[in-house]
Structure 1
Amino acid sequence: MSDRAVAILKTHDMVETIRWYAAAGFDVRDRLPDDNPTWCEVARNGVVLQFLSGDTPWLGAPTLTGCLYLYPPSVAAVAEELKGKVDLPFGVEEREWGRRELVLQDPNGYYLTFAEDL
């Protein structure tokens, strides 16, 4: 079995979260219940995210002080794929630490960074 991490995150709007992640090229693996989901799982580039809404064990608004990194073969190809589907506020940037990155913010405020080595 390969290494993998699954993050479970909170959302107040599951329908919008599912819509955004599908538009951002994530596979929507499952949602429960089908008619009015309060849980879903999405995946892309080895990152698996689960979202919970409604009654959750976490008080307050959705928060994550940091970002989630994804490593596609080409950040430029991801940017081209997502153009017009989700907001790309920063575009593709080459960082001084030797990475090309594309940073997105989902509707919950979570940051996702697509990165590749230069």
Structure 2
Amino acid sequence: MESLSPNIYVHDMNNTIAFYRILGFSPVMTVPENGENPVWAMMKNGNVTLMFESFKSIEGRLPEISRTDGGSLLLYINVKDIRGLFASIKDKVTVLSGLEKTFYGATEFVIKDCNGYVLSFAEHE
């Protein structure tokens, strides 16, 4: 195995893309390619790649994929300069837990994205 890029299903692609831009992600590719009313997008920040797909794009095709907003998924993202990242986004997102030192030595904070997913950012200093 070489990498993992989750494909996360969302209801509002434009809102999702705008939210992840706040976190420093940039779109790498969208469908359609012109980015207007996308049904799928790949976004990247450093070595972290996330894919987002609209529920509408799979309607009737994959009935196994359904959930309420947020589901039971937590994305754990390692970063550098966690304090700088926290300072730059804390007033623009829903913070669930501020900067804290964990028992295993990481400094972390936790936010909720615009789709209800939980994102935990960590720096192992």
SS in 2 for 1:90: strand
Note if 1:55 corresponds to 2:57.
yes
Distance 1:80 1:29, change over 3 A: same
Q: Distance in 1 between matches of 2:26 and 2:6?
A: 15
Q: Distance in 1 between matches of 2:73 and 2:113?
A: 13
8 A contact 2:69–2:116 mirrored in 1: yes
SS in 2 for 1:6: coil
SS in 1 for 2:97: coil
What corresponds to 1:6 in structure 2? 5
What corresponds to 1:36 in structure 2? 37
Q: Distance in 2 between matches of 1:64 and 1:45?
A: 26
Distance 1:115 1:10, change over 3 A: same
Distance 1:40 1:70, change over 3 A: same
- Amino acid of the structure 1 residue aligned with 2:38: P
For 1:20-31, list aligned pairs within 5 A: 20-31=19-30
SS in 2 for 1:55: helix
8 A contact 2:94–2:113 mirrored in 1: no
SS in 1 for 2:20: helix
Distance 1:9 1:96, change over 3 A: same
Provide TM-score, normalisation by structure 1: 0.85
Note if 1:95 corresponds to 2:105.
no
SS in 1 for 2:94: coil
Provide TM-score, normalisation by structure 2: 0.80
Gaps of 5+ in 1: none
Q: Distance in 2 between matches of 1:79 and 1:116?
A: 11
User: Which range moves more in the overlay, 8-17 or 84-93?
Assistant: 84-93
8 A contact 1:10–1:62 mirrored in 2: no
Gaps of 5+ in 2: none
Kindly, what percent of the aligned residue pairs are identical? 29
